[in-house]
Amino acid sequence: MLLTTRPALPEDKDFFFHLYVGTREQELPAFGWNDQQKQAFLQMQFNAQQRWYETAYPQAEWRIVMLEGKPVGRTIVDRGEAGATLVDIALIPETRGAGLGTRLMQELLERCHAEAIPMRLQVLKTNPAQRLYQRLGFRTVGEDQLYLQMEWRPSEIKPGN
């Protein structure tokens, strides 16, 4: 399977919304909302998330993940002298569990290893992706009620190990 990335473009906004919906669908039935209420909630939350990312990480690199030439996800990485922050990584539901997230993370970590910079991220405590991050060598460096803050250092573990 050919997995590539390309820079995100303004016309990718509809795909970003589709991707966001795929990350939230499982939690919505508990609210008992009709389709119109769900759509309004998702649009409001999506807009807030996008604004937050753009405001908090104005220099971040937004990339579309392509599988066999079709968009299946995105990464948002903010790089600085002190390290890289994985702001967001997401895949459409149909592609999850197939190893694509591992491949993407390994590529990101290889870049950090080559640049000799750490990578940081935060992950919901309930997100199964935290097991992937631990396997790749991330360690927990902080937490709050909802999130774990994790860090990978190139001096400790090489990517792919």
Output the domain CATH number for residue 114: 3.40.630.30
Q: Provide the residue range defining the domain that includes 38.
A: 3-152
Q: How many structural domains comprise the chain?
A: 1
Pick out the chain residues at pLDDT < 70: 156-161
pLDDT at 112: 94
Asked whether residue 161 is assigned to any structural domain, the reply reads no
pLDDT at 26: 79
Which residues touch 156 (CB under 8 Å, ≥6 apart)?
137
pLDDT at 66: 97
